[in-house]
Amino acid sequence: MEKCLKSIKVICVILIVILSSVVAFGGLYFKDKGIWNNVLKDFKLGMELKGHRELHYVLDDSEEEKEVYVDSDGNYKGEVIKEDENEASTSETTDEAETSNPETTDQVETSNPETTDQTETNKNEENGEYKTETRTIKANEDANINISNFEKCKKSIQKRLESINLYEYNIRQDTVTGEIVIELPDDENLEIAESLIATIGKFEIIDSQTGVILLDNSYLTKATILTSTENNQYQSYMQLEFTDEGKEIIKKISKEYVETTLDDGTTDTKTISIEIDGQAISRTYFSEELTQGILQIPIGQATTDPEEYTKNAEEVSRIAYLLNNEKLPLTYKLSSDNFIKSPLIEQYMLIVLIVSLVVVCIAIIYLIIKYKLKGLYASIINIGYIALLTLIIRYTNVLVTLNSLIAFVFAIAINYIFTIKVLKNLKNNNSKRTALLNAMKELYLSIIPVCIIAIVFTLMPATVISSIGMTLFWGLILQAVLSLIVLI
């Protein structure tokens, strides 16, 4: 009876190994609309194996003549909004600004088109401290183009990429021209990475009627993310906090940019535009005075869709990160965007596969010759180990790079050495349990440093490094589990 159970166990193990090997190495196919599709998750390949996008950025050399405001010292104070632009902007919907008071509610108002007729008067009366003049506005002023700013831009871009846990990248810079070449994985994070690279991070609160800059980055101290829930809807906010001087300006703004009712019953609304790199993220007015110097800006619409809310929250997080860090001192533009194929895949992958297959075959033949049936059974288990480890790597989002492939081979080698130790103990007429425990004790005491490295690397934020640790970690866990299940 005992021999029969052992035979059934061996047969079941062999069938499971064969099935897992077929799925891991051949794929799992289902028919959908007459087409057979492999539903097995693809490996997450690194740039070395998958290829990458090469983004070439050059300094923006554009320039344009504009009518601008300048103070008595000739400092730029904003771009004059022309009447046709003002008319277009006043027809847009504006949201009432949130304050730190949780009882404040949203209002959606439309500015009165009649206020556009007063644009010139507003410019002359309210901005009398500024004069207007025509200037040639350059994307990059000549005085800012220097090696120091080149290096600042490079470091800022590196920090921005790492802020989204994107550590697999290469960046090169020409210190003479300032040109930057960035190599990035061609994956779902590419669009976000491109946005972070191209965004300067220039924050401004602007008078929507005139174009005068009321506040900029110099008055900003902190940007944080907030979420409100009302009627089962989620709304993402960005909360801005200002310096003492900025608080006084915000207080003044909140009293001036309001909706007022005229004698004839019509409304006159003065609005501000909150902009990042010249792009408005909110156009608003105020219903109460902001005395605490805190401004809350809704990003996106209130939603019950978790995916849409997550997307809005991520956008707020990226904006907040940019505002909490130094803006880029120079403006870059994308010159070229090319996909570079991996030479390793095209030239060497077939050779690597053939060599790997030959090595595996030699290892299996060695076990069979030396340990006969037990060696054959152990070889089958080793093949199952490789198959299961590849499936684990697929579904744990391990980044497959050259380094993680080395870790993969190392894990297989550890399992093979363990197998030989167990077979040697069995050959010495030890029981399976004794052979297993002795082999585990001997092996794991000798690879304690490897286990420590696996755990430490797994916890590292850099994906390239953590993938090495995860490959080793899962390899060791799988080896221990298979030993307990199969060999006992």
- Domains, the chain, ranges and CATH? 2-47+343-487 (1.20.1640), 52-340 (3.30.1360.200)
pLDDT at position 98 over 50: no
pTM for this entry? 0.75
Cα(438)–Cα(415) distance, integer angstroms: 15
pLDDT value of position 346? 64
pLDDT at position 108 over 70: no
Q: Which pLDDT band holds residue 69 (cuts at 50, 70, 90)? A: very high
Q: Which pLDDT band holds residue 250 (cuts at 50, 70, 90)? A: very high
Average pLDDT over residues 140-144: 92
pLDDT value of position 407? 93
Cα(183)–Cα(341) distance, integer angstroms: 12
Q: Which pLDDT band holds residue 386 (cuts at 50, 70, 90)? A: very high
Cα(385)–Cα(404) distance, integer angstroms: 17
Where are the strands (E) in 122-232, listed by range? 131-138, 170-173, 180-185, 203-207, 213-216, 220-230
Average pLDDT over residues 341-360: 82
pLDDT at position 179 over 90: yes
- What are the tens digits of pLDDT across the range 431-471? 777 877 888 888 888 888 888 989 999 888 777 888 999 99
pLDDT at position 482 over 60: yes
Cα(233)–Cα(180) distance, integer angstroms: 43
Which of 16, 4, 6 is CA-nearest to residue 432?
6
Cα(22)–Cα(252) distance, integer angstroms: 71
DSSP for residue 34: T
Task: Establish how many alpha carbons lie within 13 A of residue 381's alpha carbon, considering only the half-sphere containing its beta carbon.
Answer: 28
Cα(375)–Cα(358) distance, integer angstroms: 18
pLDDT value of position 37? 85
CB atoms within 10 A of CB 332: 22
pLDDT value of position 59? 94
pLDDT at position 389 over 90: yes
Question: In which order are the strands placed within the sheet that holds 131-138?
Answer: 76-79, 63-70, 131-138
Per-chain mean pLDDT for the chain:
83
pLDDT at position 104 over 80: no
Q: Which pLDDT band holds residue 423 (cuts at 50, 70, 90)? A: confident
Cα(166)–Cα(143) distance, integer angstroms: 33
Look at 29-43, 104-118, 122-136 and tell me which has the smallest mean pLDDT: 104-118
Average pLDDT over residues 313-334: 90
Q: Which pLDDT band holds residue 94 (cuts at 50, 70, 90)? A: very low
Q: Which pLDDT band holds residue 162 (cuts at 50, 70, 90)? A: confident
Q: Judge contact between 411 and 403, C-beta under 8 A.
A: no
pLDDT at position 6 over 80: no
pLDDT value of position 125? 39
Average pLDDT over residues 322-348: 87
Q: Judge contact between 163 and 135, C-beta under 8 A.
A: no
Look at 30-39, 328-337, 366-375 and tell me which has the smallest mean pLDDT: 30-39
Q: How far apart are the first and last CA of the chain?
A: 18
Average pLDDT over residues 258-276: 87
pLDDT at position 408 over 90: yes
Task: Establish how many alpha carbons lie within 13 A of residue 242's alpha carbon, considering only the half-sphere containing its beta carbon.
Answer: 24
pLDDT at position 116 over 60: no
- What are the tens digits of pLDDT across the range 219-233? 999 999 888 888 788
Residue with the larger pLDDT of the pair 487 and 218: 218
pLDDT at position 93 over 50: no
pLDDT value of position 315? 84
pLDDT value of position 337? 92
pLDDT value of position 364? 92
pLDDT value of position 86? 59
pLDDT at position 90 over 60: no
Residue with the larger pLDDT of the pair 313 and 470: 470
Which of 55, 286, 261 is CA-nearest to residue 170?
55
Average pLDDT over residues 174-193: 90
Percent of the residues in the chain that have a pLDDT greater than 90, as a whole number: 35
Q: Which pLDDT band holds residue 115 (cuts at 50, 70, 90)? A: very low
pLDDT value of position 486? 63
pLDDT value of position 127? 47
Handedness of CA 470, 471, 475, 481 (dihedral sign): positive
Place of tokens 């490079």: 154
pLDDT value of position 99? 43
- What are the tens digits of pLDDT across the range 353-366? 889 899 999 999 99
pLDDT value of position 421? 87
Q: Judge contact between 426 and 374, C-beta under 8 A.
A: yes
pLDDT at position 339 over 80: yes
Q: Which pLDDT band holds residue 128 (cuts at 50, 70, 90)? A: low
